[in-house]
Amino acid sequence: MSTMTQTNSNRKLVLSDILEQRAYERIRDTKRAEIIELKRRRRISLGTIVTVMFENRATMQSQIQEMLRVERVVSDEGVLEELKAYNPLIPEAGQLCATVFIELVTDDQMREWLPKLVDIEKSIAIKLANGEVVKATVDEAHAEQLTRETVTAAVHYIRFQFTPQQVVEFAKGNVQVISTLSNYLEAVELADFTVAELLTDLRD
């Protein structure tokens, strides 16, 4: 099987996709500008304190490069650990993957909201134009780490699995991201450019 065929059939990152630090530094400014624009099309505000960032191969590749840069990781073993951590957030066809950020900046906000938002990650869903709702599932490895029942974490990783028919419906637009948590009932409609962007994840 050719390398190109492997890339098309599997979106996950491998060791050869990650640049060594000196090579990354040479293109970092350009790449960061590209990722900022990409994330603009993929980021939504759900209410006032929750942000949903839909991830893909490019955003995860950038995240890994930046983590390796900050942590000064140069070994293959270290890179492989980052790949293991972040590859689950790259959607396969028929999936959307997202990072959910709870945007709290003060201690008072955290004391007030983190207990109120327990199970927020299980309460986010995508509502299609025909009224059908695609519920989020929580990343398995991340869920195992969330042992606290009285306070939530500030970051969550979630996934949405679509049927082929739901992908067709998604493409029609009028798509909402909703929160059904009783303490945080919110809904936001996706911009047309976000729908178009996310279809690149959902389609083969």
pLDDT in tens, 108-146: 999 999 999 999 999 999 999 999 999 999 976 666 555
Residue where the block lists tokens 């991201």: 177
Predicted TM-score of the model (pTM) = 0.89
Residue where the block lists tokens 């637009």: 173
Yes or no: say if 182 and 142 are a contact pair by the CB < 8 Å rule. Answer: no
How far apart are the C-alpha atoms of 166 and 203, rounded to whole Å? 11
Yes or no: say if 81 and 18 are a contact pair by the CB < 8 Å rule. Answer: no
Q: Which two tokens stand for residue 183?
A: 């303490």
pLDDT in tens, 30-88: 999 999 999 999 999 999 999 999 999 999 999 999 999 999 988 999 999 999 999 99
Picking from 162, 164, 107, the residue whose alpha carbon sits closest to that of residue 135 is 162
Task: Give the pairing type, strands 95-102 and 43-46.
Answer: unpaired
What ranges do the domains of the chain cover? 18-202
Yes or no: say if 42 and 89 are a contact pair by the CB < 8 Å rule. Answer: no
Helices (H) and strands (E) in the chain, counts: 9, 9
pLDDT in tens, 166-202: 999 999 999 999 999 999 999 999 999 999 999 999 9
How far apart are the C-alpha atoms of 51 and 158, rounded to whole Å? 13
